[in-house]
Amino acid sequence: MIRQAFVRSRPLRFSPSPWQVAALDAFAGAASITVALLLRFLDEGSVPATYAQRLVPWLLIAAATQVVAGEVMTRLRRPGSPIATRPVAPFLVGGFVGLVVVLLVNDVILREPLWHLPHFVACVGPVLASAASAAIRLAAARSIELEELLERPIVRLDVEGCAPLLVGKRVLITGAAGSIGAELTRQVLAIGPADILAVDTNETGLYELEGIVAGVRTCIADVADARRMRELFLRERPSIVFHAAAYKHVPLVEANPDQGFATNVLGTLAVCEAAVAAQAERVVVISTDKAVNPTSFMGLTKRVAELLTVAVGQTASSATVLSAVRFGNVLGSRGSVVPTLVRQIDSGGPITITHPDAQRYFMTVEEAASLVLLSAAYGAPGGLFVLDMGHEVRIERLAERLVRLKGLRPGRDIATRYTGLRPGEKLREELHSDDERLLATERAAVWRVEPAYTVDGPALLEDVRDLDQRRQSGRVEPMEYPALVRALIARAIGVEEAVAAAG
């Protein structure tokens, strides 16, 4: 039996807000002057009765001075600053500013003997305060660990539980050069299959995968090429197939529906049918939460891909088990929101967000790959699985946390610009539609999707092939694809879906 563990996501490390940074700077200034003055008196052998009276005005002066010095440090560390690339220089400049201000106030303004500080104190206090301010900023600007951005426990799958499924088996992974495909390759190899073949059209990505993951074979092939897929599968005879190849970027698929249909729909059909022809034991198709009540063409194509796993399974004469896994957004995957935001922050901003209320479900790439393995181990024909990904995360909040984790201040050091929702994008994603419900499984945090509808597999396959023929003969305009795909979904699962799509 597969054991599944929950690893509590560590609290977001020290990432103070702008007000907290200012308060810490003020405290550092006041504490440093207090310590420096106390050290001087102790060195002299006694603390005078006027110690507290002498200290009071300097607490305010030192606190205000260090806030200014800290602001100088922060501004000089902004991306684009002339000395931002020199790690120590902003702190030295800020410390020098604090030292000069304290010395000027001490020697020019507060020359009254009661309040005048010994030069030892006037020099040591700002130096200690600047060191503290530098430490604050360095502590808040360490490298970012993606797991810190999740506000829920991390789900870890005991991969040894998948051993009976994978040990000694031939495994084929499409889209293996992508983030999920590459992680799948690593996790599968750790279990000990007889052979693993990584398939992708990305030649560079496959070359890099060979260098990172020893022992994997690679193959350049397009999943939308049905003849190539059938020949490849019949030659390789894989036992387990993970289909991760897809176009996933909503605006690009929206602008190129022909290619989106070819890869996401025809590619899924070609892989599933080739696997059945090669008598594979199991096929797992990777889907997305954008397939739920789809508003984008990418979501529509992935909705069809989910249904095709059922349709091919209905018509298959072999014992091949086909299932699908529905994901949210994968943190850190190429082209996803986090690398984009980090790149914008590193270049000095502004960070771009589609809408202040935009929210998404997030998971780590390790969780995504683990769920694929889990569904393969326990999948049933036509099964669709979803991981409990906790609550949705506001993209705006995620961006603010990333800025703060870089040791910068949202809205001041890094500006935010709202660009508006792109074509096909939603404000919020969903894990299941109204005509689906989530059923608990024996694995905590993994849910099975139970639909209220039935899939007319033969009708779906007929409609997909008919649309492909029209596409190849040039009888489909780009703007026609969404309506045509919605129509074939409606026919496959019933009138209810058609009414919902029209609404």
Q: Is the model's pLDDT at 88 over the cut of 50?
A: yes
Average pLDDT for the chain: 84
Mean pLDDT, residues 52-60: 81
Band the pLDDT of 158: cuts 50, 70, 90.
Answer: low
Report pLDDT for 377.
73
Pairing of strands 240-243, 195-200: unpaired
Report pLDDT for 1.
39
Report pLDDT for 502.
41
Report pLDDT for 2.
40
Pick from 33-42, 287-296, 414-423: least confident: 33-42
Separation of alpha carbons 125 and 302, rounded Å = 63
Higher pLDDT, 13 or 425: 425
Separation of alpha carbons 403 and 401, rounded Å = 5
Cβ atoms of 244 and 291 within 8 Å: the answer is no
pLDDT, tens digit, 9 for 90 and up, residues 296-351: 999 999 999 999 999 998 876 668 899 898 888 887 677 678 888 888 888 888 99
Q: What burial letters (b/e) apply to 177-195, b meaning 16+ CB within 10 Å?
A: bbbbbbbbbebbbebebeb
Paired with 155 in beta bridges are 6
Of the CA atoms within 13 Å of residue 163, those in its CB half-sphere come to: 8
Report pLDDT for 47.
63
Higher pLDDT, 2 or 371: 371
Band the pLDDT of 499: cuts 50, 70, 90.
Answer: very low
Cβ atoms of 65 and 106 within 8 Å: the answer is no
Domains of the chain (ranges, CATH numbers): 18-139 (no CATH), 149-451 (3.40.50.720)
Mean pLDDT, residues 215-236: 96
Mean pLDDT, residues 386-408: 82
Separation of alpha carbons 272 and 75, rounded Å = 56
Mean pLDDT, residues 249-256: 92
With 0-12 CB in 10 A as exposed, 13-18 as middle and 19+ as buried, what is 48? exposed
1-5, 18-22, 46-50, 143-147: which is most confident: 18-22
Which of the 8 DSSP states describes residue 140? T
Separation of alpha carbons 460 and 480, rounded Å = 18
pLDDT, tens digit, 9 for 90 and up, residues 159-185: 566 778 888 999 999 999 998 999 999
Report pLDDT for 136.
84
Percent of the chain clearing pLDDT 70 (strictly above): 86
Residue 420 backbone zone (phi > 0: left; psi -120 to 50: alpha; other: beta): left
Q: Is the model's pLDDT at 353 over the cut of 70?
A: yes
The residues that are catalytic are 290
Report pLDDT for 200.
97
Q: What burial letters (b/e) apply to 63-79, b meaning 16+ CB within 10 Å?
A: bbbbbebbbbbbbbbbb
Q: Assess whether the previous peptide bond of 79 is cis (omega < 30° from 0).
A: no
Report pLDDT for 6.
41
What token pair was written down for 298? 């990418």
What token pair was written down for 278? 């090669």
Pairing of strands 4-7, 154-157: antiparallel
Mean pLDDT, residues 44-48: 64
* CA neighbor of 66 nearest in space, from 34, 89, 42: 34
Paired with 207 in beta bridges are none
Cβ atoms of 338 and 332 within 8 Å: the answer is yes
Mean pLDDT, residues 230-253: 95
Mean pLDDT, residues 27-35: 90
Which of the 8 DSSP states describes residue 11? P
Report pLDDT for 144.
65
Mean pLDDT, residues 454-463: 92
Q: What is the reported pTM?
A: 0.77
Mean pLDDT, residues 88-108: 88
Band the pLDDT of 11: cuts 50, 70, 90.
Answer: very low
Q: Is the model's pLDDT at 7 over the cut of 50?
A: no
Separation of alpha carbons 73 and 66, rounded Å = 10
Does an H or E element contain 449, and which? strand 446-451
Report pLDDT for 143.
62
